[in-house]
Chains A and B, each alone.
Chain A
């Protein structure tokens, strides 16, 4: 495991990406198989054999939108350009997305691009880095059940506007969640129904801030999930800066989360 993490770090230094705001979070490895990182700004096909889970990592210095597509969606997207039904992550600078192949082989395509009206001087050919790590699902469950904590998902996105809502999902009991902010923000974490009330104007940010236990204006927060509720991070920039603030979430699985069955 240590060896694999070292190799990744060496690669990142070579790639010049170690300077990103938030330190490198290695995926814990054992008998995992790594695929060499591939610089690309076009797309990445990931094939996952039955019994494995692939952790696909995407890194870029400038924010991009990433489409994640299954084969039939990919074929349709290529033929028609239609993004209907496609999973989309916006303003991403870092993403770890798991693809479990518990029942059968899986093939997933990752297509990053800079949306129209995106930041000037956005990523060019070769700026978006893909890196895939494969782990045995059963071995991973085994390690979780023995008490090891393991990376489950991660995301970093750029927030340029005044207030942004970010969904923290899927959440199950026993996960450890870490949020970091690169700039001065005020934030509150709410359940779905309060998000709906906020969107409808029934509750203000200040009201939610008053009521919530998970809130702050620090550079980060740690908490553990206790149930299956989806949570939403509502983050408000305190001082507008020229550079967007980066919000990073890292979620680790534990024994308790493994026993939750998801």
Chain B
């Protein structure tokens, strides 16, 4: 091509994946730090505490996603509302495949823990971990594939 644009290759979707990785790490780090501390000092983590922390987790993540999407959209003007192209779809498909494996592995580990008399709060924690790790693997795989090309 004659008129080469600059080769800045960070797409809106890749930027969103970065935002979600950072958001998930912060929100999940806070969530597990508090839950594990409570879990160590009490026999069972009270259900209202779990519910409250889950709501806080979702709020932090939502705020991060909105703020991150705004910043990413401003730096990639006109790209945010574009539908996924074929490369985006391929990357999404590969990332989802890996993330589903991670989710299922942690879920099976959690289910196995049930047979070793795991507390119900630990089971809930395992399910949360499966969901969070699954999403982290999804976003990190997306970033890796976007960096690599596909």
Report if A and B associate in a common complex: no
